[in-house]
Amino acid sequence: MDIDINVDDNYGADQTGTVRFVVPEPDPVTGIISPSEYTTSSQDIYLYTNGLILIGSILDPNDGYDFFDAYADYLLNDDGNPNTVPETTAFVATLSLDADLGTLADTYSFELFSQIDGGIGDFSTTTGTWNFVGGNTDFAYYEDLSGYNLPDVVVTPLLSNTETGESGRINGTANRVGVTGGSSGGGGQDVGLDETIRVDFVEDFTGTPASTGYTEATVDLHFDNHVLVNGAETSFYVSPGKISSVNIRAYDDADFVLDTENEDPDNVGDIYNDTVDTITKVEINGVEYTVNDVDPLDGYMVIFEADGTVTISGLKNNDSVVVYTVDGFTTIEYAYVDGDAYVNETLELTGLVDGADQSFSLQGFGASAFIPGDALTMNFDLEVFDGDGDTAYVEDGIQILLSPDDHIIIHGTDGDDSGVDALETSTDQAATIIGYDGDDELIGDSGNDILIGGDGDDLLIGGEGDDTMTGGLGVDVFQWELNDQGTAGDSAVDTITDFDTATVANGGDILNLADLLIGEESSDLINYLRFDTNVDGDAVIQISSSGAFTDTDDAAAIASKVDQTIVLNDVDLTDLGGATDQDIINHLVDSGKLITD
């Protein structure tokens, strides 16, 4: 934040100075406030600040929202109770300034509440490499052949009229699909009265469409899990000169991920195990709708229904429709609506034209899928100012790096990142800390962190959680502190990937357990430390931080007392200097590789 980590000494002739966040100003001509460059579930994130608090929110300031609205949503639910999971807040950054010239304690914190789109990619079955399978069958699907791990798209029929005895088929080709079996009585390639097309975005699909009506008990349709998407798009085919109406429903699949406990992949029965996800935005040919509207120019009527669905009337041939929810969805349905008969009595919106009951078919399916990609860099601007009113703009004054799974990444410099410049995370989120060159201090917190020292003689402290540490070149110290451990029988498990077994004088690494072991003496370390080998042949250090091991303990008794485990990858017990636990302890202590007090 500041070269000496103390912004309170940034002052002119009158008084001390401070620092504050800077957010985009309204356009001087249009008055429009632009969103940030970041999105969450394809929704724009806008920045709000009072100087010390920066809120990233999907609330649009162009709709009249201000910082206090965004802050209120961050703090409270709609019922006024404390908000543990804000619905519109993506993240909050806070500057903590101590107002003390003599201390170097000015810091910032960062809270992440929703996935920031990093590895997001758009796809459409009308472009790229897709294999369409089915046609006049119980279902059809588009298989991704691109190699980019795009979702497979499964299309199934739904009928609201069962009097015909027909269970419904998907009728179509790669270019257009419809449903057969509804009350319209046709066998054509369209969606008419009582007919709905359901689209599921899934992963690792297997199955074979059959030339029969759709029956859940016999359909051959399986996949590993649903895939979260947003901005689902399709294009409508309507007979030239005619118009049509559709009700669109978005769903979240209840079995969103693979049942790892039972190792049972999703199947067709899971397709219908879902809940409605409220549609919040619609785009028709690129024009955005977020409230009920009748467009007299283009003839569209858009109604956001009370049940979370949306009904659109006035659709013409080749119209493109894109729908969004706040947090994405897994499934979408397109149901035919008899437009002439459709009346929204609550809103009393009218304006439909004759012929709105024309059936339609759908021309391809697309969406934005949240596919893991590269780490995401988030930059926030600052302004430093003094008592005279002098200011200095600091572009990208704060930098946060997130991996696609909300994993924070902290980069060091080529110098010594230690002392007040130590690389430290203070969050429950998992973090990766990279030291690079220099003698660095890397300090994790309660997440499952990854620490990479790089070149130089580094100090690595994983903290609580199951951490992975790589020292790199130099004499590195791996240190544990009191309360970093787990509990007896349920230990924390930390891994050192490159522990150098050479003596310290020859560049070997060091284990520092002084703060972890309680009441130890050099003569009784056998009560605190035991050594074993795992199935991969790696050396394993079993630790009882309270010294509960006894001479009569068997393997089961030891396991019940271990509260900290250290795995040394690619290290053999013989490399640690002995055949017995006591021999290994003696060697490590005598060679300076084990610090216990």
Q: What are φ and ψ of residue 172, in 5° steps?
A: 170, -170
CA distance 465 to 490: 11
Query: 544 and 591: one domain?
Result: yes
CA distance 556 to 320: 64
What is the length of the chain?
Answer: 597
Domain membership flag for residue 125? yes
**132 to each of 126, 174, 240, how far by Cα in Å?**
11, 5, 26
CATH number at residue 405: 2.150.10
Query: 391 and 356: one domain?
Result: no
The model's confidence at residue 355, banded by pLDDT at 50, 70 and 90, is very low
CA distance 447 to 101: 33
- The residue with greater pLDDT, 163 or 360, is 360
CA distance 346 to 399: 49
pLDDT digits (tens, 9 = 90+) for 201-226: 988 888 999 999 888 788 888 887 78
The model's confidence at residue 267, banded by pLDDT at 50, 70 and 90, is very low
Query: 528 and 543: one domain?
Result: yes
Residue 155 has a pLDDT of 94
Domain membership flag for residue 355? yes
Q: Are 331 and 232 in contact (CB under 8 A)?
A: no
CA distance 152 to 207: 12
- Which sign, positive or negative, has the C-alpha torsion 75, 77, 81, 82? negative
Residue 60 has a pLDDT of 92
Domain membership flag for residue 1? no
**In angstroms, how far is the first alpha carbon of the chain from the final one?**
36
E strand or H helix that includes residue 539:
strand 539-543
E strand or H helix that includes residue 270:
helix 268-271
Query: 415 and 549: one domain?
Result: yes
Beta strands in 221-347 (DSSP E): 221-222, 225-226, 229-237, 244-253, 274-277, 279-284, 287-289, 293-295, 300-304, 310-315, 320-325, 331-336
Query: 113 and 126: one domain?
Result: no
Domain membership flag for residue 2? no
- The residue with greater pLDDT, 480 or 394, is 480
- The residue with greater pLDDT, 127 or 107, is 127
pLDDT at 83 exceeding the cut of 70: no
Maximum separation of any 2 CA atoms in the chain, in Å: 95
Three-state secondary structure readout of 16-75: CCEEEECCCCCCCCCCCCCCCCCEECCEECEEEECCCEEEEECCCHHHCCCHHHHHHHHH
pLDDT at 567 exceeding the cut of 90: yes
> By CB neighbour count within 10 A (0-12 exposed, 13-18 middle, 19+ buried), where does 536 fall?
exposed
pLDDT at 3 exceeding the cut of 80: no
Q: Which of 128-137, 236-245, 276-285, 430-439 has the least mean pLDDT?
A: 430-439
Domain membership flag for residue 462? yes
Q: Are 140 and 36 in contact (CB under 8 A)?
A: no
CA distance 329 to 275: 10
Residue 80 has a pLDDT of 56
Q: Are 595 and 510 in contact (CB under 8 A)?
A: yes
- Cα 148 → chain centroid: 19
Residue 584 structure tokens: 């290994």
Mean pLDDT of 369-396: 73
Query: 386 and 409: one domain?
Result: no
Query: 394 and 407: one domain?
Result: no
Q: Are 221 and 133 in contact (CB under 8 A)?
A: no
Residue 101 has a pLDDT of 44
3-state secondary structure of 80: coil
CB atoms within 10 A of CB 555: 10
**523 to each of 279, 338, 381, 547, 569, how far by Cα in Å?**
68, 87, 56, 12, 28
Q: Are 275 and 252 in contact (CB under 8 A)?
A: yes
The model's confidence at residue 378, banded by pLDDT at 50, 70 and 90, is confident
CA distance 182 to 192: 7
Mean pLDDT of 160-175: 71
Residue 165 has a pLDDT of 43
**456 to each of 202, 435, 476, 525, 550, how far by Cα in Å?**
47, 9, 8, 30, 39
CA distance 131 to 209: 13
Query: What is the extent of the structural domain holding 423?
Result: 401-595
Mean pLDDT of 354-367: 81
Mean pLDDT of 287-301: 84
Residue 85 has a pLDDT of 55
Residue 346 has a pLDDT of 34
Residue 218 has a pLDDT of 85
- The residue with greater pLDDT, 333 or 164, is 333
pLDDT at 162 exceeding the cut of 50: no
Bridge partners, 411 (sequence order): 434
Mean pLDDT of the chain: 82
pLDDT at 18 exceeding the cut of 90: no
Query: 110 and 186: one domain?
Result: no
Segments in 489-597 forming alpha helices (H): 555-561, 581-590
HSE (CB half, 13 Å, CA atoms) of 357? Answer: 8
pLDDT at 29 exceeding the cut of 70: yes
The total number of structural domains in the chain stands at: 3
The model's confidence at residue 268, banded by pLDDT at 50, 70 and 90, is very low
pLDDT digits (tens, 9 = 90+) for 525-559: 999 999 999 988 899 999 999 999 999 999 999 99
Domain membership flag for residue 228? yes
Domain membership flag for residue 239? yes
Q: What are φ and ψ of residue 557, in 5° steps?
A: -65, -40
Residue 142 has a pLDDT of 95
pLDDT digits (tens, 9 = 90+) for 429-483: 778 888 888 999 999 998 888 899 988 999 999 999 999 999 999 999 999 999 9
pLDDT at 174 exceeding the cut of 80: yes
Residue 446 has a pLDDT of 87
Q: Which of 233-237, 268-272, 325-329, 425-429 has the least mean pLDDT?
A: 268-272
E strand or H helix that includes residue 451:
strand 450-452
Residue 185 has a pLDDT of 47
The model's confidence at residue 344, banded by pLDDT at 50, 70 and 90, is very low
Query: 432 and 511: one domain?
Result: yes
CB atoms within 10 A of CB 318: 12
Residue 353 structure tokens: 């034209």
E strand or H helix that includes residue 394:
strand 391-402
**Which pTM does this prediction carry?**
0.49
Mean pLDDT of 335-364: 62
Which among 502, 552, 503, 549 is positioned nearest to 530, based on CA atoms? 549
Query: 174 and 251: one domain?
Result: yes
Q: How many helices (H) and strands (E) does the chain have?
A: 4, 44
CA distance 59 to 45: 8
E strand or H helix that includes residue 469:
strand 468-470
CA distance 182 to 185: 6
The model's confidence at residue 256, banded by pLDDT at 50, 70 and 90, is very low
Domain membership flag for residue 414? yes
Query: 218 and 277: one domain?
Result: yes
Query: 345 and 383: one domain?
Result: no
Q: Of the ranges 173-182, 423-432, 522-531, which is most confident? A: 522-531
- The residue with greater pLDDT, 284 or 165, is 284
| Amino acid occupying residue 291 | V
Residue 10 has a pLDDT of 45
CA distance 86 to 67: 15
pLDDT at 271 exceeding the cut of 80: no
> By CB neighbour count within 10 A (0-12 exposed, 13-18 middle, 19+ buried), where does 473 fall?
middle
